[in-house]
């Protein structure tokens, strides 16, 4: 008798645990996701690490409500759907996913959509590589080394930025490769008050980028300014 009660209790627990089904899919804007919704209960759509912004679908077949607090969407099927009907989900981060929906006599469906982070990871990885390479490049110059892929060039006759007093400019190094010239200057504040420098001060039509190892120059202090220009005869 005791075992029979335990068995019935176990059946009750397992039955209770199947009130709704949970299905996870990774979003793919190029490929619709096949979904089976309950035709008797509401169905929930959630987006992992994001929220549902909008859902577009045929109002003759769906009642749709989006909870602004949780970012979940709740979908009630109005009538049997035997042939797939499209629901389009738009997430708060602007991912768009089409769902091909049919209905069946099943428990409430809980659909969790996961945004594909592969593209974002590739961008972040590329940025990380770019950042690391740039830092190494600048460090080599600041350590008076010749950057990989460049060669030193004579500094005699090279252009010196015309800066207002009390700023004094001295060219200390120059590098080049087949498409770019790198000019390294020391900028000194010979005045008695602090001066704030902006990279825009050094930008001309042929300048690719400007690097300053400091932006505030106190009296008698100096900074290193590195300027990249399009390769041309100077």
Over residues 105-139, the pLDDT tens digits come to: 888 889 999 887 655 555 555 555 555 667 888 88
CATH of the domain at 109: 2.60.40.1860
Q: In this structure, are 40 and 97 located in the same domain?
A: yes
Residue finishing a domain among 92, 116, 140: 116
If one compares 78 and 134, the residue with the highest pLDDT of the two is 78
pLDDT of residue 191: 92
In a domain, 124, yes or no: no
Question: Which of 90, 116, 142 is the C-terminal boundary of a domain?
Answer: 116
Query: To the nearest whole percent, how much of the chain has pLDDT over 90?
Result: 43
Q: What is the pTM of this model?
A: 0.45
End of a domain among 63, 98, 116? 116
Q: Is residue 184 part of a domain?
A: yes
Q: CA-CA distance, 188 to 163, in Å (whole number)?
A: 11
Pairing of strands 73-77, 96-104: unpaired
Q: What pLDDT, in 10s, does the model give residues 30-70?
A: 899 999 999 988 999 999 888 999 999 999 999 999 998 88
Specify the pLDDT at position 19. 42
């Amino acid at each position: 008798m005791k075992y029979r009660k335990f068995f019935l209790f176990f059946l009750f627990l397992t039955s209770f645990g199947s009130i709704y089904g949970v299905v996870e899919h990774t979003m793919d804007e190029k490929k619709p996701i096949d979904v089976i919704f309950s035709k008797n209960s509401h169905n929930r759509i959630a987006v992992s690490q994001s929220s549902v912004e909008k859902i577009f679908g045929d109002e003759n077949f769906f009642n749709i409500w989006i909870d602004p607090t949780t970012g979940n969407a709740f979908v009630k099927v109005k009538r049997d759907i035997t042939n797939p009907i499209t629901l389009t989900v738009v997430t708060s981060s602007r991912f768009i996913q089409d769902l091909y929906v049919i209905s069946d006599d099943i428990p409430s469906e809980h659909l969790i959509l996961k945004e594909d982070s592969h593209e974002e990871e590739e961008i972040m990885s590329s940025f990380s590589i770019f950042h690391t390479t740039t830092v190494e490049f600048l460090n080599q110059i600041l350590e008076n080394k010749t950057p990989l892929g460049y060669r030193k060039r004579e500094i005699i006759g090279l252009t010196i930025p015309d800066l207002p007093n009390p700023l004094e400019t001295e060219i200390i190094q120059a590098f080049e490769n087949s498409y770019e010239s790198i000019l390294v200057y020391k900028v000194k504040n010979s005045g008695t008050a602090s001066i704030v420098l902006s990279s825009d001060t050094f930008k001309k039509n042929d300048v690719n980028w400007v690097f300053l190892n400091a932006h505030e120059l106190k009296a008698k202090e100096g900074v290193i300014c590195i300027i990249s220009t399009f390769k041309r005869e100077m």
